[in-house]
Amino acid sequence: MKLPLSTIVTIVILAFGALAPFIFGGQPYILYVLTLALCYTIPAIGVNILYGYTGLVSLGHMGFAGVGAYTTALLMKDVGLPFVPSLFGGMFAAGFLGFLVGIPCLRLRSHYFIIVTLAVGMILFTLFNNLDGLTGGAEGLPGIPRPGNIEIGSFVLDFRSLTGFYVLTFIIAALIFGLQYILVRSDFGRSLSSLRQDESLAAARGVNVFGHKLAAFVLSTAIAGVGGAMKVLFLRAAAPLSFDMNESINLMMMLILGGAGYLVGPVIGAITFIALPEFLRVAAEMRLIFFGFVLLILARFAPRGICGAAEVAYRKLTNKEANVVRYT
């Protein structure tokens, strides 16, 4: 009996992630880039639940991430709450906003919903930028503290250190990944992906289209909130430009690149999108032009990204009949 590809890759990635601090202990830069990639993996997982499984496009997701980020940052910086409650605060803030936006907007037809997410993203950016008193405005919000140490017996984990923070981010990303894992393999997950494939069939089978969409949207915005929070805690500074429309589009890009609708899609996408350019360090314009062409090609020939392509190859190897499912 063969393990499904996704399971194998998942195990490999988790193992790699867990061992990274030991492998790259001597090379903080690599660890740094991996942490950054993880900070993007988390919201990418959120988008995967929304886009990859439920089939809803959101072009303003980093806006929700920003809500989580600023909430967590302010709770820790100004209110002085410890890390965990602050993080939950950020998560709930983002999820609740998702709820408020979702209630009216998820009844809209596909195009309209996309436009709404775009508009919401823009509005949120403006607020981050203009509310100088609250968010520090366009000058950014410096001096965001990182969580304090935890001491298990003699073993001390200092989250201010790079390694410590990597471990923290990895644990959280792993938890989120686990959540995604059980979600999409549950009846709930199957209902979601039925919505992507054929909404009216799903309805005829008894899926409450609106309810399930709302649940998926709230989940993905809450997860995005966690991701945003981790990002600003990592950078120890928040800036509106970290949560603008381009960032939202980048988020979509890394998911589509990695493979929407695959468990490991967001992980692979984030790593390829963040890490590769970091190591290549090519001119930004060239990098973006390149990604533009990649998107066109993916859209046309491999709508399910790297994972989709890998699956085809894997099926060929395990001489199953190769077949890529067209996304529609």
Partner 1 sequence: MATAILEQFINGAMMGSIYVLMALGMVLIYGVMHVLNFAHGVLFMVGGYLTHLFFFSWTGSYPLAILGSMVALAAIGIVLERLVFRALRDNLRMQIVSSLGLILIIQNGVVQIWGPHALQMRPTTVETLVKFGQLSFTLQHFVIMGVVAAAVAALYLFLTHTRLGTAMRATSQAPEAAVVVGIDPNRVYTLTFMIACALAGLGGALLGPLFIIFPQMGDAPMLKALSAIVIGGMGSVPGAIVGGLGIGIVESLSTLVIPTDYRDTITFGVLILMLLIRPWGIFGVRVRGED
Partner 2 sequence: MSAILEVSDISKSYGGIQAVNGASFTLDHPGIYGLIGPNGAGKTTMFDIICGRQVPDAGKVLFHSSRVDGVEPYKLARQGLARTFQECRVLPEETCLDNVLFAAQSKRMTSEMLQVFTRNTKHRRDAEVEARRLLRLINLEQYADQPASDLSYGQRRLLEIVSCFMSKPRILLLDEPASGINPTLLNTLRDFLVELYEETKIVFLIVEHNMEFIMSLASTIIVMHQGRVLMQGAPEQVQADESVIDAYLG
Partner 3 sequence: MRKLLLTTALAAAFMAPAAYADETVTIGIVTAQTGPLAAPGKFQMNGFNLAVDEINGNGGFQVGDTTYMLELKVYDTRCNAAEGASAMQRLATVDQVPIVLGELCSPVAAAEAPIAQDFQVPLVVTVPTASSLTEQGNPYFFRVNANSGQLNEALAAFVETIDSEPLSFIAWNNDTGRGGANGMRELLPEDFEFGYIGFFNVGEVDFANHITNIRNEDSKAIMLLMDEEPGALAIRQIRDAGLDAKLIGTLAMGSNRFLDRLNAEYLNGMVQYSSFPPNAPMERIKNFSDTYREKYGEESHGFAAQSYDGVFVAVEAMKAAGTTTDGAAIRDALAEISVDGVIGTISFDEKGQASPPVYITEWCEDGSRKIIAPEDLAADCGAG
The residues that touch partner 2, with contacts defined as CB under 8 A, are 182-183, 186-188, 190-191, 193-194, 197-198, 200-209, 211-212, 215, 321, 323, 325-326, 328
- The answer to the question of residue 119 lying near partner 1 (CB under 8 A) is yes
| Partner whose footprint covers residue 20, from partner 2, partner 1, partner 3, none (CB < 5 to 8 Å by kind) | none
For residues 5-64, which are near partner 1 according to CB under 8 A?
A: 51, 55, 57, 59
Q: Which stretch binds partner 1 (CB under 8 A): 27-35, 167-175, 298-306, 310-318?
A: 298-306
Between 139 and 151, CB nearer to partner 3 = 139
Burial (CB count <10 Å: 0-12, 13-18, 19+), residue 112: exposed
Q: Which residue in 166, 229, 137, 140 sits closest to 17, CA to CA?
A: 166
Query: Residue 281 CB, nearest distance to partner 3 (Å)?
Result: 8
- The answer to the question of residue 2 lying near partner 1 (CB under 8 A) is no
Residue numbers of the site for partner 3 (CB under 8 A)?
27-29, 32-33, 36, 129-130, 132, 136-143, 161-162, 231, 235-237, 239-242, 278, 281, 283-285
Contact 269, 258 (CB under 8 A): yes
Strands 155-157 and 150-152: what pairing?
antiparallel
- The answer to the question of residue 134 lying near partner 1 (CB under 8 A) is no
| Partner whose footprint covers residue 105, from partner 3, partner 1, partner 2, none (CB < 5 to 8 Å by kind) | partner 1
Distance of CA 219 to the CA centre of its chain: 11
